[in-house]
Amino acid sequence: MLRLSPWTKRLLCLAALLCLAPAATPRFFEFSDASFELSSEAKGVAHTGSHEERIIAALDAIRSGNMADARATVDALIAEQPNYRLAQLLRADLYAMRVMPLSTIGGGVASAPSNVLDDLRKEALVRIAHRNDKIYADRLPANIVAFAPQQKFAILIDAATSRLYVFANDNGQPKRVRDHYVTVGLLGVDKKIEGDQRSPLGVYFVTSHLPREQLDKTYGSLADLYGVGAWPISYPNELDRSQSRTGHGIWLHGSPAATYARAPQASNGCVVLTNEEMLDVAQYLQPGNTPVISVPAIKWVNAEQWQQQHNAGLALLEQWKSSWETLNTQQYLNFYSPDFRSGEGQDISTWREQKAAVNAGKTWSKVQLNDVSIFAAGPQASQMVATFNQNYRSNNLNNQMKKRLYWQQDAAGWKIVWEGNALN
């Protein structure tokens, strides 16, 4: 009599279940409570579109019970991107559903590490949440207050939704070009110290481009972590430095070859895209010029509200400039916060004394501001960063510089918390 091993017996039992079991009622309860029957022989039609559009279409097909289309879509995705882990997870679930209902994404691979499954579930939910969020389709970001003429594009990162947006300078108004899913720091955002595995929040600028060839020479096999290349940003900025925030090497970059997309929170502080999407975004990056605005959540407004904010931001800067060049010392100093720090490290008391003494020796002054940009960060766009080329002339001094002002909104209105040379 033929003796079968325990594993052989288990495999034969599973085969019998696959052949004899009645149709199951698979569901992902967090997406839908609708019941549906599975036809294992049905041949589905693969959805088309971007990889993200297709993974969402597969999830929608599962939710509606169209398992054949879901399988066809996932199989086509994996044929193109075998390292797309979320697609691989859905494939495992789809085949497990032939014999049992599933209560959650990843239920078909219960032996996988729980942290891996949690990350993939978060990715699925983040992608679906973005698709479902249609309310802002015709809105503008309050975080882009004013483009400088030479700035063709701006990058806006919404940490709450793990989304990166590209906006074009359309005659001074932001126009949405595209958006992509991104990964941020393992422990979230609001970077404070070196090694805290958080991504920074604030207004930064792309400083350079590190192509893959250069990364290979510098980092060897570790260069694969950055995928197709890296675009460093200017963290820590001037305000970060004044607040003793530390850290370096915060980049926009691609993904390792063996990983199509990473979890929503998985980096050491960088902002990470898939390689194909990083290359797409790269065409809009101008080192030394393109702002990267990272915020807890984008503040969306309608066109009328955006124009009002645009006008108000420029008017505020003009009022500051006018009080300075008319030598109205008290009015000028009222623009500064009690928490102010200058680029040279002066606090508000020292600043007041110096400005009062300087103005006492002036008979006239003229201030011209060119190439003005204003971008807003912080909760509800409560921090504004103005950058401009300043031409200052007076009876005893002529000076030109690239200056940056950080404004903070509080109960007293908008106040300057940092002023000095723009470092980039």
pLDDT tens digits, residue range 283-340? 999 999 999 999 999 999 999 999 999 999 999 999 999 999 999 999 999 999 999 9
Q: DSSP per residue over 378-407, as a string?
A: SGGG-EEEEEEEEEEEESS-EEEEEEEEEE
Residue 37 above 60 pLDDT? Answer: no
Residue 6 is assigned to a structural domain of this protein = no
Q: What is the mean pLDDT of the chain?
A: 90
Residue 253 falls in the annotated catalytic set: yes
- Domain identity same for 306 and 262: no
φ, ψ at 366 (rounded to 5°)? -135, 135
pLDDT band at residue 179 using 50, 70 and 90 as cut-offs: very high
Total number of domains constituting the chain: 3
Catalytic residue among 47, 180, 270, 310: 270
Residue 10 is assigned to a structural domain of this protein = no
pLDDT band at residue 346 using 50, 70 and 90 as cut-offs: very high
Sheet hosting strand 291-295, strand order edge to edge: 173-181, 163-170, 153-158, 291-295, 202-205
Residues 6+ apart with CB under 8 A from 113: none
- Domain identity same for 170 and 295: yes
CATH number at residue 274: 2.40.440.10
Residue 164 is assigned to a structural domain of this protein = yes
Residue 143 is assigned to a structural domain of this protein = no
Residue 165 above 60 pLDDT? Answer: yes
Catalytic residue among 47, 51, 253, 310: 253
- Domain identity same for 89 and 222: no
Range of the domain at 380: 301-421
Residue 13 falls in the annotated catalytic set: no
CA distances from 56 to 63, 74, 124, 132, 410 (A): 10, 10, 8, 10, 41
Residue 3 is assigned to a structural domain of this protein = no
